């Protein structure tokens, strides 16, 4: 007997949508969910009875807007008081509260108030993607490559790893989203020659640009940049704010005021959800026509909302966001020391690249060079992640790929004068190990505090503090004499370990940066893993119930057809009347069986299957 190895899957854990893919027998399969859709909304809802994930959550959002969470990725590894988060809270229909500086989603679930961390919500989405893959593959999945925005910082990456842990997944590697898109583009391209490819990845919540040098299945990231709070949702928010103002002017009502109660029991949350959905629809329509309408039936006070939206207006409202994407492209070109003519292909990924103005600006930047639409903007990231997952798990059915990524941000420590001393500059190839020596600044100093930062500013305070630790009992001496060696090691996932050593005594301290700011404490993660398992049990129970009902319904159809056929041949057969009685009785029971248990479905099934067998043997 030999072990059947379950393949590792690739998951694109997106802000708006998620997607899962796997390599089976050398072929990359982007897997459809239970609705037959290859992308699943990154949406989780809590109701009086159950938890819903994906389409089921999205479809009920307007009836349960306070308890339907989306955009959770935007809060991963973030602090509650971050300005970006505070600006968004006003426009989200759900509640975000603070817990020890971290943001938490506050919902009503089974008639109780409950707080969930962004990691837990992301874990629920990961669990869903895992389940979609397991249904397709037919066996349990353990290992996964999960993608993150290239510009995600250490805390955001750590938070994603925690989400994987909570979901019961072994994340074998994180992979940057534009790198995954580049793999999807370049995999199996038998060109032989080296190509410089710029990936422009503009999704629902994040924006990334990467320049890669690709030779067959050899991928090397040269430079990367981005904005982890820039995506399609920002465009939607601009539209929402614009129409909130229009409504204020026209109807003298502030629908963003979360305290308002209006007619028909509609509160602000529901109105905001409806308006946001209408804006998003209009925005999408504008990618294929110059005019569109924002339509929402009975938006508030029974008023049907209807407003024109042109491409020109959309561009005006979002022009700074659009320009920002081009500025970032320019920054990446500069970092990679390349000019526009050095780029052989411009590859688009992410749903927001469908916006015509974005394409026009990008094309204009590259002297009207044709943009490459070869990869699927919604599926390429999961596709590339699946190829990478297969490659690193030594799947013999695909060609191995060689992959080198870079650190997205400069990493360093705070030194005298509140200055950041860079140790690993951004765009350094990973994995990377760099050691730098520092000396003390005070006579007979007994210890040093090491504060680790990431970012590009000269002053430490303006960068992002990742963590801090102290090295005590260093050998007493005049300032400038004791030498402290500080080593930074960044692994392939972009996760940093820092060591400091007093060269005289050999005393050392080491920390994996567990960001004091963004990271969940270990005991919290353990608790969340246990809770996630409970959720999984409930989901499994629901799934079994659904399957039992489905089997009984299918059997009813078969038995009904069999009785009809046999009736045609044998009008006098009285036994058929009995069979018909059992069948109709089962159908009636099914109509009423909302609360039935799995056992009850099974026992009804057994009774009906006996009828079927008797008919077949007659």
Handedness of CA 443, 446, 449, 450 (dihedral sign): positive
- Strand arrangement, sheet containing 402-404: 345-349, 195-202, 207-215, 218-227, 402-404
Q: Does residue 186 touch ligand AMP according to CB under 6 A?
A: no
Active-site residue (options: 29, 119, 154, 201): 201
Q: Does residue 10 touch ligand AMP according to CB under 6 A?
A: no
The single residue among 79, 283, 365, 519 that binds ligand AMP, judged by CB under 6 A, is 283
Piece of 113-121, 277-285, 395-403, 452-460 that binds ligand AMP (CB under 6 A): 277-285
Piece of 103-111, 154-162, 281-289, 558-566 that binds ligand AMP (CB under 6 A): 281-289
Q: Does residue 228 touch ligand AMP according to CB under 6 A?
A: no
- Distance, CA of 56 to CA of 112 (rounded, Å): 21
Residue pair 406/381 in contact by the 8 Å Cβ criterion:
no
* Beta-ladder partners of 69: 44
| Closer by beta carbon to ligand AMP, 283 or else 519 | 283
CB of residue 185 to ligand AMP, shortest distance in Å: 15
Residues ≥6 apart with Cβ < 8 Å to 581: none
Residue 406 Rama label (left phi>0; alpha psi -120 to 50; beta): beta
The single residue among 10, 149, 351, 518 that binds ligand AMP, judged by CB under 6 A, is 351
Active-site residue (options: 154, 177, 234, 236): 177
Residues ≥6 apart with Cβ < 8 Å to 594: none
| 3-state SS, residue 376 | coil
514, burial (CB in 10 Å: exposed 0-12, middle 13-18, buried 19+): middle
Piece of 226-234, 298-306, 510-518, 548-556 that binds ligand AMP (CB under 6 A): 226-234
Task: Tell me the CA distances in angstroms from 476 to 269, 440, 486, one per residue in order.
Answer: 61, 10, 19
Active-site residue (options: 58, 66, 71, 73): 73
Q: Residue holding tokens 């905001």?
A: 272
Q: Does residue 227 touch ligand AMP according to CB under 6 A?
A: no
Residue pair 341/365 in contact by the 8 Å Cβ criterion:
no
- Distance, CA of 462 to CA of 455 (rounded, Å): 8
Q: Does residue 54 touch ligand AMP according to CB under 6 A?
A: no
The single residue among 232, 467, 482, 518 that binds ligand AMP, judged by CB under 6 A, is 232
Q: Which residue is nearest to ligand AMP (CB)?
A: 232
Q: Which tokens go with 539?
A: 């989901």
- Output the CA torsion 552→556→559→564 (10° steps): -170
Q: Does residue 173 touch ligand AMP according to CB under 6 A?
A: no
Q: Does residue 156 touch ligand AMP according to CB under 6 A?
A: no
CB of residue 87 to ligand AMP, shortest distance in Å: 17
| Closer by beta carbon to ligand AMP, 19 or else 413 | 19
CB of residue 236 to ligand AMP, shortest distance in Å: 6
Q: Does residue 203 touch ligand AMP according to CB under 6 A?
A: yes
In this structure, the number of other CB atoms found within 10 A of the CB of residue 606 comes to: 9
The single residue among 268, 352, 460, 464 that binds ligand AMP, judged by CB under 6 A, is 352
Q: Does residue 14 touch ligand AMP according to CB under 6 A?
A: yes
How many residues bind ligand AMP, per CB under 6 A? Answer: 19
- Distance, CA of 420 to CA of 401 (rounded, Å): 36
- Output the CA torsion 452→453→458→460 (10° steps): -70
Secondary element (H or E) of residue 526: helix 522-569
Q: Does residue 229 touch ligand AMP according to CB under 6 A?
A: no
- Distance, CA of 500 to CA of 521 (rounded, Å): 23
Residues ≥6 apart with Cβ < 8 Å to 540: none
Q: Does residue 74 touch ligand AMP according to CB under 6 A?
A: no
| Closer by beta carbon to ligand AMP, 94 or else 601 | 94
Catalytic status, residue 201 = yes
The single residue among 118, 149, 186, 350 that binds ligand AMP, judged by CB under 6 A, is 350
Cα atoms in the 13 Å half-sphere on the side-chain side of 170 = 10
Piece of 8-16, 293-301, 415-423, 548-556 that binds ligand AMP (CB under 6 A): 8-16
| Closer by beta carbon to ligand AMP, 356 or else 425 | 356
Catalytic status, residue 249 = no
Q: Which tokens go with 238?
A: 């601009």
The single residue among 160, 213, 225, 287 that binds ligand AMP, judged by CB under 6 A, is 287
| Closer by beta carbon to ligand AMP, 354 or else 519 | 354
Q: Does residue 324 touch ligand AMP according to CB under 6 A?
A: no
| Closer by beta carbon to ligand AMP, 164 or else 351 | 351
Nearest Cα neighbor of 191 from 173, 168, 215 is: 215
What is the binding site for ligand AMP (CB under 6 A)?
A: 14-17, 203-204, 231-233, 280, 283-284, 287, 350-352, 354-355, 378
Q: Which residues are catalytic?
A: 12, 73, 177, 201
């Amino acid at each position: 007997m030999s072990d059947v190895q379950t393949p590792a899957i690739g998951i694109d854990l997106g802000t708006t949508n998620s997607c899962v893919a796997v390599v089976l027998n050398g072929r990359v399969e982007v897997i459809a969910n239970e609705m037959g859709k290859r992308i699943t909304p990154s949406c989780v809802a809590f109701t009086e009875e159950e938890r819903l994930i994906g389409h089921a959550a999205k479809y009920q959002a307007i009836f349960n807007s306070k308890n339907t969470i989306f955009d959770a990725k935007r809060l991963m590894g973030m602090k509650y008081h971050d300005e970006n988060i505070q600006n968004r809270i006003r426009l989200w229909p759900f509640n975000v509260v603070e817990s020890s500086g971290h943001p938490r989603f506050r919902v009503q679930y089974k008639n109780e108030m409950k707080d969930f961390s962004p990691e837990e919500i992301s874990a629920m989405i990961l669990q869903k993607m895992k389940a979609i893959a397991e249904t397709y593959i037919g066996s349990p999945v353990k290992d996964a490559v999960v993608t993150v925005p290239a510009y995600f910082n250490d805390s955001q990456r750590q938070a994603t790893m925690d989400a994987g842990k909570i979901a019961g997944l072994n994340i074998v590697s994180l992979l940057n989203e534009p790198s995954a898109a580049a793999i999807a583009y370049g995999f199996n391209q038998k060109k032989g020659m080296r190509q410089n490819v710029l990936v422009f990845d503009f999704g629902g919540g994040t924006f990334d640009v990467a320049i890669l040098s690709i030779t067959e299945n050899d991928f090397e990231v040269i430079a990367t940049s981005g904005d982890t709070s820039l995506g399609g949702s920002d465009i939607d928010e601009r539209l929402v704010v614009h129409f909130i103002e229009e409504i204020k002017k026209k109807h003298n009502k502030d629908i963003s005021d979360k305290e308002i109660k209006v007619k028909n029991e509609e509160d602000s949350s529901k109105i905001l959800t409806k308006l946001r959905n209408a804006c998003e629809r209009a925005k999408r329509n504008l990618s294929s026509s110059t005019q569109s309408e924002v339509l929402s039936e009975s938006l508030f006070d029974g008023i049907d909302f209807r407003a024109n939206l042109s491409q020109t207006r959309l561009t005006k409202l979002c022009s700074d966001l659009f320009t920002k994407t081009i500025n970032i492209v320019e920054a990446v070109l500069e970092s990679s020391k390349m000019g526009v003519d050095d780029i052989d292909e411009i590859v688009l990924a992410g749903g927001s690249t469908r916006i015509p103005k974005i394409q026009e600006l990008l094309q204009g930047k590259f002297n009207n060079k044709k943009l490459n639409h070869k990869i699927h903007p919604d599926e390429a990231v999961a596709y590339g992640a699946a190829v990478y997952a297969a490659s690193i798990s030594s799947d013999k059915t695909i060609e191995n790929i060689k992959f080198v990524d870079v650190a997205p941000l400069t990493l360093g420590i705070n030194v005298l004068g509140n200055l950041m001393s860079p140790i690993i500059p951004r765009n350094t190839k990973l994995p990377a190990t760099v050691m730098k020596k520092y000396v003390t600044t005070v006579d007979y100093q007994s210890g040093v505090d090491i504060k680790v930062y990431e970012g590009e500013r000269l002053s430490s305070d303006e960068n992002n503090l990742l963590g801090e630790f102290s090295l005590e009992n260093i050998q007493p001496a005049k300032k400038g004499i004791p030498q402290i060696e500080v080593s930074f090691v960044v692994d392939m996932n972009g996760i940093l370990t820092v060591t400091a050593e007093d060269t005289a005594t050999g005393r050392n301290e080491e920390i994996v940066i567990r960001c004091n700011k963004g990271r969940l404490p270990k005991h919290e993660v353990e608790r969340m893993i246990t809770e996630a398992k409970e959720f999984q049990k409930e989901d499994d129970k629901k799934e079994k119930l659904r399957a039992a009902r489905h089997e009984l319904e299918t059997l009813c159809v078969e038995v009904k057809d069999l009785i009809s056929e046999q009736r045609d041949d044998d009008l006098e057969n009285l036994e058929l009347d009995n069979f018909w009685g059992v069948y109709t009785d089962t159908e009636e029971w099914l109509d009423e069986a909302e609360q039935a248990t799995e056992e009850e479905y099974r026992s009804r099934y057994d009774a009906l299957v006996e009828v079927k067998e008797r008919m077949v043997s007659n």
